[in-house]
């Protein structure tokens, strides 16, 4: 037996190698794509983590700042500051270096008004695209002086430090002071020293933006970082909620005018304007001397508003709804030796607001026909003002309507006849409310649409017969449109037998001999279940009778005047019906004269015209 030993041909080997090469290329491409995607995702996540880490450090530095913040162009750590910036978030301006300053003070000696000051500085170098941190400290006393004694030989602001007025804190520090007016400044009593030298915070920062516009009123500072990691730019936005009230001011600015004497109190921050009815926060003060902080109180000089909250927690001013002109406020406190210290009165402008219309939350009224209504009870109105605020709910308005189908009095009394609601023009109308504003003497109007609801009973009415199934059919309309198949919880159906005995009949049941007699049917809809007002009741009477059957009457063709003739089941000599006598006890006969040959009604007389199987009648 010959044994075969056959190997691969050269062509088979080449094809196999080619297939393996193609498959390896696909696999390597997938691996490479996945690796690139991972690297990009990892790079983005890493950049965000690094930025958040920097932001956490900045937040820890500034969250407890208690005097001032400031943001400007320039490199502030070594070169001071340039033009002020309030908000450049989303501006995209990366052409200049920028610096953020946060200044705080710690009391060292209350009696001597001695303080330790510090200024945290965050500088972004646009050329290096790096973020740096530095901190300077100094000591000073808060002293009284006059505006003509500022040139006292102390050093001015320089690249290496701040001016002698280095504490803080007000945009209106000395500009408004007149000659000889007593003011308060922080006099530096020590050299400005560097607590933290210029230290690198972050690299690859292609832009750094800050928003300090809400720092003074809302205690909010926002930071925006744009980083570039391996050619990919990522922008993140961060918010710091400051714990203390601060000013927007250069660290070297002086602050405050004061009353003569050592103890004084001054309002340093308040909103310049307010709308009637509006509630605003953002108030702050400065105090000097032996003032007891627990005695601080805020007051409104006029009756145009009121303060709520405490001096340190949720202090807010609410303007009266009818406020106009100016709200004048002041703050006062007690010194430790029992003296009252009161600030100067400042005015807050009250913006004028104009009534624009009447507004109601009631979109449309649905009313049952028949009852009377008070529209002032059903519809509540408020005045809408030009500043998008609303008044309190009005007690009453005046009412009118151009519709002739209802009666509407000016006090809102509405009379709706029960004949309405069948359709067409008698099923809806518009009512107009009007109100005259006492402040502007302006008359405002508002309209409300009213739809009428109606209920009619269709069946059962008239006469029903033994053997019929008792029906129940109604027609319910809203605004003239038929609403079919009300849910069972929205309509009540009932029938009542008027006889002495009980009858088994009911809706949907077959009527029997025991149901013969008079009945009443009723349907009731409480329109409140439909979101409206009023109750609808529809009633009807009907009668149940045995069904009448026609049969042939057998009797004489000629009758004689003055004679009497019997009518019964058995009298075959006179008049009788041709019916099955074996079952005649199931019948009840009713005899009537349907034609007379003479107009004299006395020529004919029927007595005992209804007869049973045991009686008879005569004509």
Q: What percent of the chain stands above pLDDT 90?
A: 41
Q: Which has more pLDDT, 188 or 355?
A: 355
Give backbone dihedrals phi and psi of 57, rounded to 5 degrees, phi first: -65, -40
pLDDT tier at 47 (50, 70, 90 boundaries)?
Answer: low
Q: Is residue 574 within 8 Å of residue 618, measured between CB atoms?
A: no
Instruction: Among 166-175, 202-211, 339-348, name the one with the lowest average pLDDT.
Output: 166-175
pLDDT digits (tens, 9 = 90+) for 512-536: 989 999 999 999 999 999 999 999 9
At a CB cut-off of 8 Å and minimum separation 6, what does 602 contact? none
Strands 305-308 and 326-334: unpaired
Q: Is residue 455 within 8 Å of residue 421, measured between CB atoms?
A: no
pLDDT score at 233: 86
pLDDT score at 600: 53
Q: What's the predicted TM-score (pTM) here? A: 0.43
Decide if pLDDT at 167 tops 50. Answer: no
**Residue 444 is encoded by which pair of tokens?**
């405002």
**Residue 546 is encoded by which pair of tokens?**
């045995």
Taking residue 149's Cβ as centre, other Cβ atoms within 10 Å add up to 11
pLDDT digits (tens, 9 = 90+) for 437-466: 877 788 999 999 999 999 999 999 999 999
Average pLDDT, the chain: 81
pLDDT digits (tens, 9 = 90+) for 48-89: 777 788 889 999 989 988 888 999 999 988 777 788 999 999
Domain boundaries, the chain: 46-248, 264-350, 356-547, 548-619
pLDDT tier at 102 (50, 70, 90 boundaries)?
Answer: very high
pLDDT score at 415: 96
Q: Interior CA angle at 311 toward 308 and 314, to 5°?
A: 50
Residue range 329-351: mean pLDDT, rounded? 89
Decide if pLDDT at 311 tops 80. Answer: no
At a CB cut-off of 8 Å and minimum separation 6, what does 3 contact? none
pLDDT score at 581: 56
Decide if pLDDT at 179 tops 60. Answer: no
At a CB cut-off of 8 Å and minimum separation 6, what does 450 contact? 364, 365, 366, 367, 428, 429, 430, 431
d(CA 54, CA 206): 15
pLDDT tier at 474 (50, 70, 90 boundaries)?
Answer: very high
Whole-angstrom CA distances from 315 to 217, 219, 307, 318, 455 are 12, 13, 7, 10, 58
Phi-psi region of 370 (alpha: psi -120 to 50; beta: other; left: phi over 0): left
Decide if pLDDT at 6 tops 50. Answer: yes
Q: Which has more pLDDT, 133 or 570?
A: 133
Q: Interior CA angle at 37 toward 36 and 41, to 5°?
A: 120
DSSP lists the bridge partners of residue 501 as none
d(CA 254, CA 260): 17
Yes or no: domain 264-350 corresponds to CATH 2.60.40.10 = yes
pLDDT score at 73: 93
Q: Is residue 290 within 8 Å of residue 258, measured between CB atoms?
A: no
At a CB cut-off of 8 Å and minimum separation 6, what does 515 contact? 466, 497, 503, 504, 505, 544
Instruction: Among 345-349, 359-363, 562-566, name the one with the lowest average pLDDT.
Output: 562-566
At a CB cut-off of 8 Å and minimum separation 6, what does 308 contact? 279, 314, 315, 316, 318
pLDDT digits (tens, 9 = 90+) for 553-599: 777 778 788 788 777 766 666 777 776 655 545 566 677 666 665 55
pLDDT score at 150: 39
Q: Is residue 48 within 8 Å of residue 226, measured between CB atoms?
A: no
Taking residue 447's Cβ as centre, other Cβ atoms within 10 Å add up to 11
| 84 DSSP assignment | B
d(CA 547, CA 466): 6
Q: Is residue 307 within 8 Å of residue 298, measured between CB atoms?
A: yes
- For residue 308, the surrounding DSSP H or E stretch is strand 305-308
pLDDT digits (tens, 9 = 90+) for 482-517: 998 899 999 999 999 998 888 999 999 999 989 999
* Residue 60 DSSP SS3: helix
| 468 DSSP assignment | P
d(CA 525, CA 537): 7
């Amino acid at each position: 037996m010959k044994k075969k030993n056959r190997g691969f041909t050269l062509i088979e080997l080449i094809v196999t190698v080619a297939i393996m090469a193609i498959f390896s290329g696909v696999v390597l491409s997938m691996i490479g794509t996945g690796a690139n995607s991972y690297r990009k995702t990892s790079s983005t996540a890493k950049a965000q983590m690094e930025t958040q880490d920097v932001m956490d450090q900045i937040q820890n530095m500034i969250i407890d700042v208690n005097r001032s913040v400031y943001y400007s162009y320039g490199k502030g750590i070594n070169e001071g500051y340039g033009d002020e910036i309030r908000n450049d978030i989303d501006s995209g301006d990366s052409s200049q270096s920028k610096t953020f300053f946060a200044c705080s003070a710690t009391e060292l000696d209350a009696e001597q008004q001695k303080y330790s000051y510090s200024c945290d500085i965050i500088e972004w170098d646009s050329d290096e695209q790096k973020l740096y941190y530095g901190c300077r400290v100094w000591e000073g006393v808060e002293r009284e002086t006059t505006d003509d004694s500022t040139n006292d030989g102390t050093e001015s602001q320089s690249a290496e430090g701040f001016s002698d007025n280095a504490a803080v804190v007000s945009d209106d520090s000395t500009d408004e002071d007149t000659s000889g007016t007593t003011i308060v400044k922080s006099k530096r009593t020590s050299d400005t020293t560097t607590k933290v030298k210029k230290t690198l915070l972050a690299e690859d920062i292609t832009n750094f933006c800050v928003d300090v516009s809400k720092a003074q009123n809302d205690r909010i500072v926002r930071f925006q970082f744009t980083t570039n990691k391996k050619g990919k730019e990522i922008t993140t936005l961060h918010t710091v909620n400051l714990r203390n009230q601060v000013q927007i001011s250069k660290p070297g600015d002086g602050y405050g005018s004061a009353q003569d004497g050592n103890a004084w109190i001054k309002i340093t921050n308040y909103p310049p304007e307010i709308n009637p009815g509006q509630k605003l926060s953002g108030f702050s003060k400065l105090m000097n001397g032996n003032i007891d902080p627990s005695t601080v109180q805020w007051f409104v000089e006029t009756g145009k508003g009121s303060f709520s909250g405490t001096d340190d927690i949720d202090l807010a001013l609410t303007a009266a709804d009818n406020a106009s002109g100016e709200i004048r406020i002041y703050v006062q406190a007690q010194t430790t030796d029992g003296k009252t210290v009161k600030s100067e009165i400042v005015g807050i402008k009250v913006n004028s607001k104009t009534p624009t219309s009447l507004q109601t939350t009631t979109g449309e009224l649905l009313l049952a026909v028949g009852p009377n209504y008070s529209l002032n009870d059903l519809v509540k109105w408020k005045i809408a003002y030009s500043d998008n605020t609303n008044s309190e709910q009005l007690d009453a308005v005046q009412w009118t309507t151009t519709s002739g189908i209802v009666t509407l009095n000016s006090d809102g009394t509405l009379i709706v006849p029960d004949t309405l609601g069948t359709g067409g023009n008698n099923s809806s109308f518009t009512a107009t409310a009007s109100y005259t504003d006492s402040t502007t003497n302006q008359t405002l109007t508002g309209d409300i649409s009213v739809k009428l609801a109606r209920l009619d009973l269709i069946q059962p009415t008239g006469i029903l017969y033994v053997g019929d199934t008792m029906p129940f059919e109604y027609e319910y309309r809203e605004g003239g449109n038929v609403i079919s198949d009300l849910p069972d919880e929205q309509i009540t159906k009932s029938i009542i037998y008027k006889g002495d005995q009980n009858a088994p009949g009911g809706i949907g049941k077959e009527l029997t001999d025991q149901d013969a007699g008079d009945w009443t049917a009723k349907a009731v809809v409480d329109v409140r279940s439909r979101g409206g007002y009023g109750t609808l009741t529809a009633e009807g009477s009907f009668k149940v009778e045995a069904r009448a059957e026609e049969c042939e009457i057998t009797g004489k063709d000629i009758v004689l005047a003055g004679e009497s003739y019997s009518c019964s089941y058995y009298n075959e000599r006179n008049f009788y019906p041709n019916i099955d006598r074996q079952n005649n006890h199931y019948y009840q006969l009713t005899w009537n004269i349907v034609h007379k040959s003479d107009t004299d009604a006395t020529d004919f007389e029927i007595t005992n015209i209804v007869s049973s199987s045991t009686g008879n009648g005569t004509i």
